Structure 1
Amino acid sequence: MPTPTLSDAWYAHPPGSFALCSVDDGKAVVTGGLDTVLRVWDTTQPFPLSAKREFVRPESITAVALADAQDVFLAGTSDGVVTMHDFETGDQRKTLVRFDLPLRAIAFTTDGKSVVCAGMDGLVKIVDLDDAQNVSTFHGHDGPILGLAIDPKGELFCSMDWSRCWKVVSVDDCSVVHDGQGEDGGLVDAESVFNFGFSSDGSLLALPGKTFVRIVERSNWNVLFKLGGEHTDMVLSCMWAKNDQYIATAGRDKTVVIYDVPAKACVQKIVMEDLPICICWKNAGNVGSVVIGDTSGELRVWKDCVTLDGISASTGNKIGGGVMGGDGSGDVGESSRAGTSRMDDDDDVSDQELKQSVFQMASTPEDDTQRYLYWDMTSIMTYDDKGTHAVIEVEFLDGRAKNIRMNDHFKPSMGAVG
């Protein structure tokens, strides 16, 4: 195993959340942030990097996607608009679709003919790139969607919302193939973004969990096993390496971990100074590195983390043909035989749906100490009962002001933003 090193940081965007995507083994990286600027980076150049190209948009960038052919890229913004741009000039070719609330995830379909978009309004829309027609819309989530993954076979997509409920859906007709349960522990704040994906052949799906990563088998959507023990807080990102042997993860504990999937073992770990909000693999030959973007608005490369040789996890050569238990024994439990998702006893998966749809213009009933006090097109006010006091948070969706967090000992039941 090589000895990794962390590069010096280079400025990408102002502090806060920003979006990142990559193609060509991470050699081309596109980022977009609160400064409304899209930047293209060539990570093969010497450090410190400067942006190869910059394009300015009218609104904050919340999601980006780059076509494999590197001829066009997509930008999703805080005003809910998805646009397509020329990769070389940045010129806008067309507006593809509009949402009522900010975008959180965009991805090209495997054939490159359509795009799948997910937003904070709980909708997933599939849009044809040629005529910008909304082909179909999926309405299956009860809250903001924070992550999206496309099946390499081109048949399915997987979306995850802020209750960590995940849905596997047909690209053709938006029918639900599998409805995955969420987890106990309350709702994830709407500023978070989940990054996850399928293995290169589509046989396995990696999903972020509370402190672990779930490896799900496509054939029956059972959980084969989980990778964990290194994170102490919620995992936000879990990205496959190109040979499917490794997964890079990033969590709220500021830790970035690389797991050997067949061995179910941590092989590299680093603790960052700031929260890593987006990661992607960068490969040079058979050596894999990880590009890390954090809340300080900076990018770094964790260089020479692993050697990308060995057996692919998705082939099953090391995992085996049966459904593995948490100890790797290959035992199949009763719930697996029944075709339902099986988790270890300590996975804390909730069997309950959210009590009430969260998109309301007034206060909602309290759910696990949390409720909405207010929601409109520009701002969200949430309430979290801490026992002795309540924590009130206001998120401004249009970027007009900094988000607000305050304590209130009177525990209000409704709110308003003027």
Structure 2
Amino acid sequence: MPCERKPMRYGHSEGHTDVCFDDEGKCIVTCGSDGDVRIWESLDDDDPKSINVGEKVYSVALKNGKLVTAVSNNTVQIHTFPEGDPDGILTRFTTNANHVTFNSSGSRVAAGSSDFIVKIVEVVDSSQQKTLRGHDAPVLSVALDPSDEFLASSSCDGSVTVWSIESQTQVAQWKILQKSSDVSNAKSLCRLAWQPRSGKLLAIPVDLTIQLYDRNTWTHVSTLSGDLISQVVNVVVWSPCGKFLAAGTIGGNLLIWDVEAKLCIERQKHEKGFTVCGMAWHPSGGRIAYTDTEGCLGKSGFEFFMLL
């Protein structure tokens, strides 16, 4: 595949960042440790719109004109999009939320926090919440399955847990991660992801691999790996069609697999080896955006937009 590189750009200050697209793929939205959310019309946008939402922003999600952020004041906030007007607090924790995500329809938001708790909140009525308790350490990542039946979460306690949303109980758990005392000490953010549409497979970054689990049996069915993965996988995202899976690593590698064929079809290397900590597919499936821990912004590759 042809690979094109362009000079990297400043996006946010040094530290953790996250990225998503709007529903139509017209804008790229990033957040960072500077407390800002930025809306980019393209990677050539010299004047992205900037919205300050707090001291630090750990995660951002966007759906149906609702911009949701996990902020360092222990809240999950909503802003209008693209205006950026404050639209209330969705939920609160006793410490910071580390990851937020919408369900497929945009009716629910899930958030995982360093107080070991996962919450699922109805967007139109934030008083309607479900609380999932059972992790023994900070929650790293959360993902809602396409059918709204299950939620998966990863934690510093070394586990990945699948929960029944309705009963708020655990239905599966795997002790497959390295334990850590806090998110800042974790070897990986373990940004896991359900296969779109069917939700048949749950993809989990585990050390130098991606493990795939079947939602019908909760058994491990496949492992994806690659020669270029020399450091821990940090984040994985499915293509909208559910056929391809992209991964970003601590060492700055970007890899894409044809999942059914178990074939790595694209490999790229961050020129400075910065950690990839946020990643999103364009809604059309043709491009990928991702962010790194240095807050830089760049563009490279075969039909891929990269936020580094």
TM-score in terms of structure 1 length: 0.67
Alpha-carbon distance change, 165 to 299 in structure 1, aligned in 2, over 3 angstroms? same
Q: Does 1:103 align with 2:97?
A: yes
Alpha-carbon distance change, 54 to 197 in structure 1, aligned in 2, over 3 angstroms? same
Structure 2, unpaired ranges of 5+: none
Of structures 1 and 2, the one with the larger relative CO (CA 8 A, separation 6+) is: 2
Cα separation, 1, equivalents of 2:105 and 2:168: 17
Contact 1:39–1:51 (CA under 8 A) maintained in structure 2: no
| Aligned residue pairs, count | 297
2:162 corresponds to: 168
| 1:189 to partner: Cα distance | 5.3
AA at the equivalent of 1:214:
Q
1:30 corresponds to: 29
Cα separation, 1, equivalents of 2:89 and 2:100: 14
2:8 corresponds to: 9
AA at the equivalent of 1:100:
T
Q: Does 1:276 align with 2:276?
A: yes
Cα separation, 1, equivalents of 2:268 and 2:233: 14
Contact 2:145–2:194 (CA under 8 A) maintained in structure 1: yes
| 1:186 to partner: Cα distance | 4.1
Contact 1:83–1:96 (CA under 8 A) maintained in structure 2: yes
Which of 121, 141, 149 is equivalent to 2:115?
121
Alpha-carbon distance change, 23 to 91 in structure 1, aligned in 2, over 3 angstroms? closer
SS at match of 1:288: coil
2:18 corresponds to: 19
| 1:305 to partner: Cα distance | 5.3
AA at the equivalent of 1:5:
E
| 1:21 to partner: Cα distance | 2.0
Deviations along 1:214-253, whole A, 9 cap, x unmatched?
A: 1111111111110013312211111111222211111112
| 1:180 to partner: Cα distance | 1.9
Root mean square deviation, CA, Å: 2.1
AA at the equivalent of 2:55:
E
SS at match of 1:304: coil
Cα separation, 2, equivalents of 1:303 and 1:26: 18
| 1:261 to partner: Cα distance | 1.0
Structure of higher CA gyration radius: 1
SS at match of 1:8: strand
AA at the equivalent of 2:67:
F
SS at match of 1:59: coil
Higher strand content, 1 or 2: 2
Q: Does 1:212 align with 2:206?
A: no
1:235 corresponds to: 233
Deviations along 1:34-75, whole A, 9 cap, x unmatched?
A: 1111111223xxx532354211123211111101x2x11111
TM-score in terms of structure 2 length: 0.89
Contact 2:21–2:283 (CA under 8 A) maintained in structure 1: no
| 1:25 to partner: Cα distance | 6.4
Structure 1, unpaired ranges of 5+: 307-418
SS at match of 2:104: coil
Sequence identity (%): 25
SS at match of 1:206: strand
Which of 96, 119, 142 is equivalent to 2:136?
142
